[in-house]
Amino acid sequence: MGFPLLSLIIFTPAAGAAVLMFLRSDDAARWTALVVTVLDLALSIVLLAGFDTTTHEMQFTERVPWVPALGITYALGVDGISALFVFLTALLGAVSVLASWVAIERKVKAFMASLLAMQALMLGVFLSLDLFLFYVFWEAMLIPMYLIIGVWGGEGRVYAAFKFFLYTLAGSLLFLVGVITLYFHGGETFDILALMALDLPFQVQSWLFFAFLIAFAVKVPMVPVHTWLPDAHVQAPTAGSIILAGVLLKMGAYGFLRFSLPMLPEASVYFSPLMLALSALAIVYGGLLALAQDDLKKLVAYSSISHMGFVTMGIFALNLRGLEGGILQMFNHGVTTGALFLFVGLIYERTHTRSIADYGGLMKVAPVYTVFLALFTLSSMALPGTNSFVGELLVLSGGFAANLAVGAAAVLGATLGAAYLLGMYRRVALGPPSVGARFKVRDVNAREMVAILPLAVFVLWVGLYPKPFLAIIDASVNHLLTEVHGTEGGQ
C-alpha cells in the first residue's frame, strides 16, 4: 500500500467542508469551495493518469481494519468500472460550485459545505471495497442532499426533500438487510472482492437480487419507483440537480454493476428479461412524459429517466457491447444532463421562469448560450459525433442482441428523444424573440463559460474519439462478463 491517493481524493472535499465552517465571508466560502473541488479534480486526473488499463484488478487499494470484530475494513480501490465515475464526480463537483456562485444567495457557507460533503460521500461510494463502508457512504449522502434540496430549493422544496429522503431510505434499508444476509453467507466478511467469489444457491441469490434491486432501482430511478425524481429535480437548486442527475443516478446503475452482477450472477441472468422490460418501459414512458412537459427542468428530469433506461438496458443485456455502452452512457449522461441542468439554471437565474412557453428567440439575445445549448441538446438526442451517440449505439446493438422487442422499444425511445429535445430547442432558441421584450437576458459570462467548456470538451471528445474511455472500462467489463456467464459455462 503506497500513497493513499484514494483516501486523499475522498477526504479533500470533506476537509474542505470542515474548513468552510470557520470562514467568515461568503466570498471566501465560494473561493475555498472552488479551490478544493479543483484540487480534487486534479487528484482524480492523477488517478486516471496512473490507471493501468490492462488489468481488471483493483488498483490503488488501501486496507485498514476498521471494526475487526465484525469483519469490517476500511478498504478502497478503483477498477475500470469505477474510475470514470470518480473523475465524473470530481468534474461535476467543480461545475456545481461554479453553477451556484451567484445562484445561492443565502447561507452560502452552509451550502458549499453541503456540496463538498456530498462530493466526499459520492466519491466514497465509488471507491469502497467494503460493503459496510459502501453502505455508510451511500446512506450518509441522504443528509447533505436532503438539506441541499430542502433548504435551498424552490417553492415545493420541503415536499420534494421529504419524498427524496423517504424513497431512498426505504429502498436502502432493505438493501441493508440484504447486505447483512450476504455477510453471513460469505463467512462473516464485508469484503466486496471476497463476496464476489462466492457461489450462492440460486434461491438466496434471487432474494438478495430483489433486496438490492429495490435500493438500486430507486436511485436509478427505474419505472415505477421514479416518482421522486421529477419533484427532487424541479425543486433542487441548479447545483443539486447537476449532482443528482450527474452522479446520484449513476449510483444505482453502479450498484448493479458492482454487486448484483458479480455477486448474484445466476439471478442476474435469470431476471434479466424482467430488467430489460423495465428498462424499455422507462425509455418509452420517460420519453412520453418528457414530450408533454412545459417546464424546462421537468423535461430534462423525465429525459433522465428515459436515458437511464438505456443504461440499465445496456447493463442487463449482459453482453460486451451492452455493458460497455451502458457504462459509457452513464458517463455521457452525467456530462450531458449535468450540462443541460446547468443551462436551465443559467437561464432561470436571468428570467426566473422555467416555462418553455415564456421563451423564444433566445438565439438573438444570447447567441453563445444557444450555440452551446444546441451542442448539449444534440448530444442528449445522440447525434453522431457527440458522446451519447457512441454510448447509445453500443447499448442498442447490445440490446438487440439480447432481445429484439426491447431493442425496438429503445429505438422508439430514441426517436421520442429527438422529438422532445428538438421541440424544446426550437421553442426556446428559435422563432420570434419574445424574451427580449420582457426580460433582460445577458449572454454567458466568463465564469459560466469556465463551467460549460470542460463539459463541451467531453461531449466532443467521447463523441469523436471514444477509445481512451472504452479502454479504461474494457478489462473490467470483460472480467465482469466471465464472472456472470462463467457459472453457466460461458457464452
Partner 1 sequence: MTDAALFQSIIASLPEIVVVTGACILLILGQFVRKGQEHFLVSASVAIVLIAALATLLLANEVRPAYSGMFIADRFAVFFKLVFYLATILTFLLSRKYADIEGIGSSSEYYVLLLFALFGMMIMASATDLLSIYVGLELMVLCTYVLTGFMRRERRSNEAALKYVILGAVSTGIFLYGVSLVYGLTGTTQLNAMAQAVTGDPLDPGLLLAVVFIVAGLVFKVGAVPFHMWLPDVYEGAPTTITAFMSVGPKAAGFAVILRVFLNPLVAASDAWIIVAVIAVVTMALGSFVALVQDNFKRLLAYSSIAHAGFAIFGVVAGGQDGIASVMLYMLIYAFMNLGIFGAVIMMRNGDFSGEVINDYAGFARSHPGLALLMLLYLFSLAGIPPTAGFFAKFYVLVALVERGFVLLAVIAVLLSAVAAYFYIRIVMVIYMREPERAFEPALTPMVRATLAFTALGTIGIGLFPAWFLGFAQQSASGG
Half-sphere exposure of 163 (CA within 13 A, CB side): 17
163 binds partner 1 (CB under 8 A): no
Could you tell me the smallest distance in angstroms from the CB atom of residue 212 to partner 1?
14
CA gap 408, 305 in Å, rounded: 18
CA gap 478, 480 in Å, rounded: 5
Could you tell me the smallest distance in angstroms from the CB atom of residue 67 to partner 1?
4
Could you tell me the smallest distance in angstroms from the CB atom of residue 112 to partner 1?
14
Count of residues interacting with partner 1 (CB under 8 A): 34
Asked whether 98 and 117 are in contact (CB, 8 A), the reply is no
Select 181 or 397, whichever has its Cβ closest to partner 1.
181
| Interface positions, 119-158, toward partner 1 (CB under 8 A) | 132, 135-136, 139-140, 142-143, 146-147, 150-151, 157-158
243 binds partner 1 (CB under 8 A): no
| Interface positions, 81-110, toward partner 1 (CB under 8 A) | 110
Q: Among 179-187, 297-305, 360-368, 397-405, which window interacts with partner 1 (CB under 8 A)?
A: 179-187
Asked whether 153 and 200 are in contact (CB, 8 A), the reply is no
Q: Which residue is it, cell 460461458?
A: 490
Which residue among 1, 69, 437, 446 contacts partner 1 (CB under 8 A)? 69
How many distinct helices (H) and strands (E) make up the chain?
23, 2
CA gap 37, 116 in Å, rounded: 8
165 binds partner 1 (CB under 8 A): yes
7 binds partner 1 (CB under 8 A): no
Q: Among 3-11, 169-177, 241-249, 451-459, which window interacts with partner 1 (CB under 8 A)?
A: 169-177
45 binds partner 1 (CB under 8 A): no
164 binds partner 1 (CB under 8 A): no
Asked whether 398 and 310 are in contact (CB, 8 A), the reply is no
201 binds partner 1 (CB under 8 A): no
Sign of the Cα pseudo-torsion (304, 306, 309, 311, in order): negative
Which residue among 7, 61, 181, 397 contacts partner 1 (CB under 8 A)? 181
Could you tell me the smallest distance in angstroms from the CB atom of residue 133 to partner 1?
10
162 binds partner 1 (CB under 8 A): yes
Which residue among 47, 115, 160, 161 contacts partner 1 (CB under 8 A)? 161
Q: What is the residue type of 393?
A: L
Please provide the DSSP assignment of 311-353 as one string: HHHHHHH-SHHHHHHHHHHHHHHHHHHHHHHHHHHHHHHHHS-
Could you tell me the smallest distance in angstroms from the CB atom of residue 63 to partner 1?
15
In a 3-state reduction of DSSP, which class is residue 191?
strand
Which residue among 15, 28, 176, 456 contacts partner 1 (CB under 8 A)? 176
DSSP state, residue 431: S
Asked whether 151 and 162 are in contact (CB, 8 A), the reply is no
Backbone φ and ψ of 75, nearest 5°: -120, 125
CA gap 83, 254 in Å, rounded: 11
Could you tell me the smallest distance in angstroms from the CB atom of residue 334 to partner 1?
25
Could you tell me the smallest distance in angstroms from the CB atom of residue 69 to partner 1?
5
Which residue among 169, 198, 374, 475 contacts partner 1 (CB under 8 A)? 169
| Beta-bridge mates of residue 128 | 76
190 binds partner 1 (CB under 8 A): no
Q: How far lies 364's CA from each of 123, 294, 345, in Å?
A: 41, 22, 19
Spell out the alpha helix ranges (H) of 100-226. Answer: 108-127, 131-140, 142-152, 157-185, 192-196, 202-219
441 binds partner 1 (CB under 8 A): no
Select 126 or 316, whichever has its Cβ closest to partner 1.
126
68 binds partner 1 (CB under 8 A): yes
Instruction: Catalog residues that contact partner 1 under the rule CB under 8 A.
Output: 65-70, 110, 132, 135-136, 139-140, 142-143, 146-147, 150-151, 157-158, 161-162, 165-166, 169-170, 173-174, 176-177, 180-181, 183-184
